[in-house]
Amino acid sequence: MASGGIKFIMETFVEEASTYEKCIQKIQEKYGPNIMITRREVKRNEGFLSLFNKETIRLSFNIQNEAFVPKFSNNEEEVKPKSSVAPIKPYSPANLAEERLKIMKLAAAQSEEMAEKMMPYIEKLENQSSSPIKTDIESKEFKNLAETVERLVEEIRLKNSPSQEHENISKIAALLEENDFTAKYIRSIKEKISKNLSLAELNDFELVQKKVLDWIASSIQIKLEETNNDDSAKKQKLIALVGPTGIGKTTTLAKLAAYYILAVSKLEKRSLDVRVITIDQYRIGAAFQIKKYCEHMGIPLIIATDPLDLHKYLDLYKDSADIICIDTTGRSPTDPEKILEMQKYFDEIEPGRIETHLVVSAVTKAADIIEIIKQYSVFNFSSLIITKLDETAHVGSIISVLDEYKIPVAYITEGQTVPKDIVRASKLVLLRKLTGFSLDYINENFNDEISIVWS
């Protein structure tokens, strides 16, 4: 740039900044308030709302009235303009208002959320355009509006930019990972946070935690049990437990039988006739174990050696037994042929007559639970029974699978004691096992626990 002289008046100057407002401020600090913008350019970056975030605004402008040397050097002198130079129309607040209105309308076009937040400011600017200009007041309002636009744009950017995740979203993701939730489940929670929480809410980690707990709770479905208090409407219930070996299936069956004999009989104010049938003739230990439990409860153990045997006993007790609990052979999910072979025991039973529960251990990895669900789907089970909850500190895997397959939970076992280490499933029991979340909030908001009265 040449130094000194009237030539500065009509010479075009160029300045750049990250936003329009900052560029104007930079120009006025260097050249004073008497400028006229002649050209505006935007260098767009890739990504959502790149026009407003980390972009370069380039403004070309002239200086009005007197010659002005930018404050780059103390050696340069200011030279007053010649009187023959015609004055140049300044870039007035009205011009600035028009630019601001354009920017806001462009911002509003980015998304419905942004449009909703921008409309009050757009309407205000449009109303002001027909009113007399009050420079000082309007300048302050423009500054406030500029800050508002910048804040709202930043909010949208933070919520939608995968490359710049909000700190509290990252903290929640780490917390979910610590609790063994699956990557798919964690992604879904992060998407819900971004979609449903404002930036102000997102900045409040305690609030974010509570929202996430609400979503986790909503992903847990509970199977409610029907009880019969009407003597005229007695209906026999057949209950079968299926699942792989080593998950406590036989012990759980004994707990269920005791639950009906002791707790449900008390609830229904009548003594229930409970029978136990096992088709697990391969494991001597399992048969011995269930036999001991049955002797302790004062009920006979029936062993069905084949499908015909099972049907015979079911017909025999059709009119006398209130509850028939059926124990099955544990089969590995990697042995689908054996699973299909066992399923033949139930082929001839009329649909809807038998209530089948898939038993899974709380210590099992999510991928293995999914494989178990797939292989045992031939039984058309209605719900899950979760065992060994006392043996794990992380329930994210099981909750992730419950959410993915929309399977309700009927019962949960915590310990080996028969009968009292079984509870009716509740969201509260599972949520209390979560690490790093507010136990007070859980107890206050998810008290759906159903106490079992044993005596």
Contact 48, 158 (CB under 8 A): no
Query: Residue 70: phi, psi to the nearest 5?
Result: -60, 150
285-308 pLDDT, tens digit per residue, is 667 788 888 988 898 889 888 899
Rounded Cα–Cα distance for residues 363 and 91 (Å): 70
Rounded Cα–Cα distance for residues 369 and 363 (Å): 10
Rounded Cα–Cα distance for residues 200 and 214 (Å): 19
pLDDT computed for residue 69 by the predictor = 46
pLDDT computed for residue 75 by the predictor = 47
User: What is the number of H-type helices and E-type strands within the chain?
Assistant: 17, 11
Residue-range domain boundaries for the chain:
6-160, 167-218, 231-445
Alpha helices in 161-262 (DSSP H): 167-178, 183-196, 199-202, 205-218, 249-258
Amino acid sitting at position 449: E
pLDDT computed for residue 121 by the predictor = 75
Contact 18, 50 (CB under 8 A): no
Q: If the chain, 455 residues long, is cut into consecutive pieces of 10 residues, what is the mean pLDDT of each piece?
A: 43 80 84 76 56 66 58 46 43 57 66 71 69 53 61 59 77 96 96 90 95 97 73 76 92 92 87 89 68 88 90 91 91 87 86 91 95 94 95 95 96 85 93 95 87 62
pLDDT computed for residue 393 by the predictor = 92
3-state secondary structure of 267: helix
247-279 pLDDT, tens digit per residue, is 989 899 999 999 999 888 888 888 899 999 998
3-state secondary structure of 345: helix
pLDDT computed for residue 193 by the predictor = 94
pLDDT computed for residue 88 by the predictor = 40
Q: Which fold has domain 231-445?
A: Rossmann fold (3.40.50)
Q: Which token pair is 292?
A: 């001991």
DSSP letter for each residue of 289-315: HHHHHHHHHT--EEE--SHHHHHHHHH
